[in-house]
Chains A and B, each alone.
Chain A
Amino acid sequence: MELKLKKVPAEEPEVLEIRCHKVTDNIQEIISFVKSRQGQLCAYVEGQSIEVPVIDVFYAESVDNRLFIYTAKESYELRLKLYELEEMLKGKSFIRVQKGMLLNLLKVKSIKPALSGRYTALLKNGEEIVISRKYVPDFKDTLKGRR
């Protein structure tokens, strides 16, 4: 695929146009990336595409090689891998708390200790997420601004 980049004056709107023969998985991945940079995630419910604002996402979980995002009450599927989503959300308030889970720190109400050096995050919608021991140091570093 040929890549063209053209600078436009400040008064003109910025446009990203993709010209393709077919919307393949790769194209879909590019679309998802661009939308995530704009604060939207391209999600699916029963095959229907829907845009979910990143700020509404409580956490993302990988289950049987499928990735789901959870808002206060709903869940949606993303056609991405967890590491791809993690890369897209870099610099935002998401952090890995389990091997297959990203947590939005802005949706955490409080933290309490669990057994064996683990912690439990109580979310603002009442759900509880375990922060596994392996990810506790990164979690602490992020909160204390060391990452």
Chain B
Amino acid sequence: MNKFRKRFEEAFRLYFILVTLISILLMVLGLMFDSDRVFGYEVFLSPLIYAAIGVIPCFFTDSEKELSMKMLIIRRAVVLLVIEAMMLTLAYSAESIPTERKGVVPGIAIGIVVVFILSSVIEYVFELAGARELNEALLAYQNSENERL
């Protein structure tokens, strides 16, 4: 239960990082390829839906095995490929995305890679903050243990 909760918390955090980054990506791609287009309010749902799709692999790629750094990188690459495939399938099936226009599909594909890398960087920044707290706790622990000895 605790494991599931932790995974859910991580997915939740990643979800909101993705919502923000995808909103920015949609704005950039929109300005580049379809700047005259007018949308209704329902367009605000798009980042929420795309982010939800981006989070799905989190629930299937978490293994109990202690993976080596090489295996972790390979796993991340596979996750990226799966997300690319899902997003491009969605892009081709959605009528609102002009995939027939030159540059739109590569733009989406590159955008997904950029969002993927940025979300990893933001998560790393969060973990850095966590590590800073742990280092402070480690120092306090070592001081108290040394006093005890």
Instruction: Name the distance in Å between A66's Cβ and chain B's nearest Cβ.
Output: 19
B residues within 8 A CB of A106? 142, 145-146
Greatest chain A CB density within 10 A among B73, B127, B146 is at B127
Q: Quick one: closest B residue to A143, CB to CB?
A: B137
The main secondary structure of chain B at its interface with chain A is helix
Binds B, one of A21-29, A40-48, A77-85, A113-121: A113-121
Question: Is the C-beta of A71 less than 8 angstroms from some C-beta in chain B?
Answer: no
Question: Is the C-beta of A110 less than 8 angstroms from some C-beta in chain B?
Answer: yes
Cβ A119 vs Cβ B141 within 8 A: no
Query: How far does the alpha carbon of A106 sit from the alpha carbon of B135 in the complex, in Å?
Result: 12
Interface residues on B, range: 20 to 34
Binds A, one of B23-31, B34-42, B64-72, B83-91: B64-72
Interface residues on A, range: 20 to 34
- Seen from chain B, the residues whose Cβ lies within 8 Å of a Cβ on chain A are 2, 6, 10, 64, 66-67, 69, 72-73, 76, 124, 127-128, 130-131, 134-135, 137-138, 140-142, 145-146, 149
